[in-house]
Amino acid sequence: MQKIDIQDTINVIKDLVHIPSPSGYTRYAMAYLESYLQKVGIKTNVTNKGTLLATIKGKDDSRQRMLTAHVDTLGAIVKEVKKNGRLKIDLIGGFSYHSIEGDYVQIHKMDGRTVSGTVVMHQSSIHVYKDARTAERNQENMEIRIDEPVQSDLETEKLGIQVGDFVSFSPKFEQTLSGFIKSRHLDDKASVALLLSLLKQLKEDAIQPEHTVHVLFSNNEEIGYGGNANIPEGVVEYIAVDMGAIGDGQQTDEYTASICVKDGSGPYHYGLRKQFVSICEEKNIPYKLDIYPFYASDASAAIKAGHDIVHGLIGPGIEGSHSMERTHVSSLEATYKLLQEYVQAPMNH
């Protein structure tokens, strides 16, 4: 297959990160995916859970593969309208309050309209609060300052804001001349864009993969169960395409494809890991093996749900996961090349 059109893929990433989709509020992002695939001539099925499934028929239809990436992101939900007119929030997904201080947000009202705001400390002014620098960043001390002239809970409620309204975070997307892509929500919209590019290329170039390939775009991964259902009967191999986490003691970087050996759910399938490594070494694809201690994926959720499959996890390396994230075009290219080669290779177990 041809090389990835990396700029086209980056443009899709940019589109996706600007579509609010915290877990539980993903319909607009899913509509984008459905429209994208329809334009390239790929039929999709929307499941009862709201996931999107696309299929490319392979040479062998008896033993099938599934690739998945998740479109849902971290976010928040309104927990309380405070007496001062500001909002207390409850977080959606596993991230920390300190990573969102100062972020611009949108509050999504039930009528479909939005109100903008900023996540701030209640004790934000160092000229007023002695503990402005030292107070813990937590649910009690942090609030959303909404961009409307309100000073009471009644005034805020008159705007139509209520408990249960979703809150999405501004992505702050930027593509640098040095090849970096930095934005919130690269987890996992970078991988979603890679799979869209793969499906587009398979369709447009009339490439038949070795085995039938299903691609599931899930919508609840950040809360633990995005891809644990809707797995077609013939699927033998299930690969989560998700971020590689970077930090002290990790091998993963922003320039290679990451192959996960083990995460918090346990080891991934040894035979699949060996096949990924073999493909990378044979095709000169830069890669790193790694373990993510505080991590789980849609593939591990599917295993826990009792599916009789083998599972693997690969993806681009993402710096600052669940914070202000960043990756490099070379990691996107390496991951895409590994995906290309994998779907054209026979199963070896």
Tell me the catalytic residues. 221
Structure tokens at 127: 């000229």
Cα(343)–Cα(210) distance, integer angstroms: 6
The alpha carbons of the chain give a radius of gyration, in whole angstroms, of 21
Per the CB < 8 A criterion, the answer to whether 236 and 310 are in contact is: yes
CB burial string 181-203: b at 16+ within 10 A, e below: bbbbbbbbbbbbbbbbbbbbbbe
Angle (CA) 34 37 40, round 5°: 150
Cα(255)–Cα(291) distance, integer angstroms: 17
Cα(127)–Cα(110) distance, integer angstroms: 37
Structure tokens at 237: 């191999």
> In 50-185, which ranges are continuous DSSP H helix?
153-158
